[in-house]
Amino acid sequence: MSDTLKQLTEAVIAGNATLAGKITEQALAEGIAPTKVLTDGLIAGMSVVGVRFKAEEIFVPEVLIAARAMKTGVEILRPRLAGEAVPMAGTIVLGTVQGDLHDIGKNLVAMMMEGVGFKVIDLGVNVAPERFVEAINEHEPDLVGMSALLTTTMPMMKETLEAFKAAGVRGRVKVVVGGAPVNENFARQIGADGYAPDAGSAADLAKALVVTG
């Protein structure tokens, strides 16, 4: 890896958005391919952040700052990437289930997913089962991630999965669930493909599920 890309990785880890932007422009000026700048510089940095977050070496504020730094570089790259085939880990549809308006955890998962190379379709909060189904038909994702932060909205995860079956789309996607009251046992009970206790684990799980199909 070039020194420039190493510096870019470090800028993302440090959460220095201004520096990340400058080094991204420098890398392009040096003739480094935009896809390489993205994968070996920006995404590489966010991947380290994910590992540290999972190990509880850093916390939500640091992740948010690092994600902002990564996005600063991505915005500079975007016009250059338009003509290139960017290798993506896959596509994931995310949403907080119907009746639940919490989004901090979901937003963190979205950032982590982008940080490891996923295209993220974020449906927001209070997402009805039918809206998830529409998104699956529209975007043809590899994965669907559902979040619930209240015990009273956890049953909506099961209802959403039942809606997938009724619509004939369940076999087309892997489904992962998470949120404060959710656990591995609950995920198994409702028939989800996986459970993640935090955003870093969610990114690892998503990559593993895409690889195994």
Instruction: Give the pLDDT of residue 66.
Output: 94
For 110-134, the pLDDT digits (tens) are 988 988 889 999 999 999 999 999 9
Q: Which domains does the chain have, with CATH numbers?
A: 3-81 (1.10.1240.10), 90-212 (3.40.50.280)
Give the model's confidence band at 68: pLDDT under 50 very low, under 70 low, under 90 confident, else very high: very high
Token output for 18? 């201004």
Instruction: Give the pLDDT of residue 54.
Output: 86
Look up residue 167 and give its amino acid: A
Give the predicted TM-score (pTM) of the model. 0.78
Q: Are 177 and 147 in contact (CB under 8 A)?
A: yes
Give the model's confidence band at 208: pLDDT under 50 very low, under 70 low, under 90 confident, else very high: very high
Average pLDDT over residues 9-22: 98
Q: Are 154 and 103 in contact (CB under 8 A)?
A: no
Instruction: Give the pLDDT of residue 1.
Output: 65
More reliable by pLDDT, 84 or 178: 178
- Give me the percent of the chain exceeding a pLDDT of 90: 76
| Residue 85, pLDDT above cutoff 80 | no
Kindly write down the DSSP assignment for every residue of 88-148, as one continuous string: -SEEEEEEEBTT----HHHHHHHHHHHHTTEEEEE--SSB-HHHHHHHHHHH--SEEEEE-
| Residue 95, pLDDT above cutoff 80 | yes
Please state, in angstroms and rounded to a whole number, the distance separating the CA atoms of residues 155 and 195: 15
Average pLDDT over residues 160-169: 98
